[in-house]
Copies of this chain bind each other. A is one copy, B any other.
Amino acid sequence: MGTAVLGNTKMKTFEELESTVRSYSRGWPTIFEKAKGYKLWDVDGKAYIDFFAGAGALNYGHNNETMQDKLVEYIRNDGLIHSLDMGTTPRKEFLECFNEIILTPRDLDYKIMFPGPTGTNTVESALKIARKVTGRDTVISFTNAFHGMTIGSLSVTGNSFKRSGAGIPLHHTVSMPFDEYVEDQDSITYLERFLEDSGSGVALPAAIILETVQGEGGMNAARLEWLKKVESICERFDILLIIDDVQAGCGRTGTFFSFEPAGIKPDIVCLSKSIGGIGLPMAITLIKPEYDQWGPGEHNGTFRGNNLAFIAATEALSNWETDEFSQAIQKKAHILSEAIEAIINKYPELNGEARGRGLMQGIAITKPGLAGEICAEAFKRGLIVETSGPNDEVIKFLPPLIIEMEGLEEGLAILEESIKSLIN
Contact = CB atoms under 8 A, between A and B. Distances in A.
Contacts of A56: 302
Interface string A86-121: 111101100110110000000000011110111111
B200 A143 contact: yes
B87 A11 contact: yes
A92 B55 contact: no
User: How many copies of this chain?
Assistant: 4
A217 interface: yes
Instruction: Name the residue among A13, A285, A293, A300 with the largest chain B CB count within 10 angstroms.
Output: A300
Contacts of A159: 198-199
Interface in A289-308: 292-303, 306, 308
A168 interface: yes
A3 interface: no
A415 B124 CA distance: 37
A406 interface: no
Contact of A86 (B25, B78, B124, B217): B25
A153 interface: yes
A189 B197 contact: no
Interface string A140-165: 01111100111111011111111111
A172 interface: yes
A17 interface: yes
Interface in A9-68: 10-11, 13-14, 17-26, 28-36, 40, 43, 54-58, 62-63, 68
Pick the 10 closest A-B CB pairs, nearest first. A131-B167, A82-B279, A175-B201, A199-B390, A151-B152, A21-B294, A19-B113, A23-B297, A150-B150, A158-B201
Given A24-B86, A150-B152, A150-B153, 7 more contacts: A11-B87, A18-B114, A23-B296, A33-B80, A120-B301, A182-B189, A272-B302
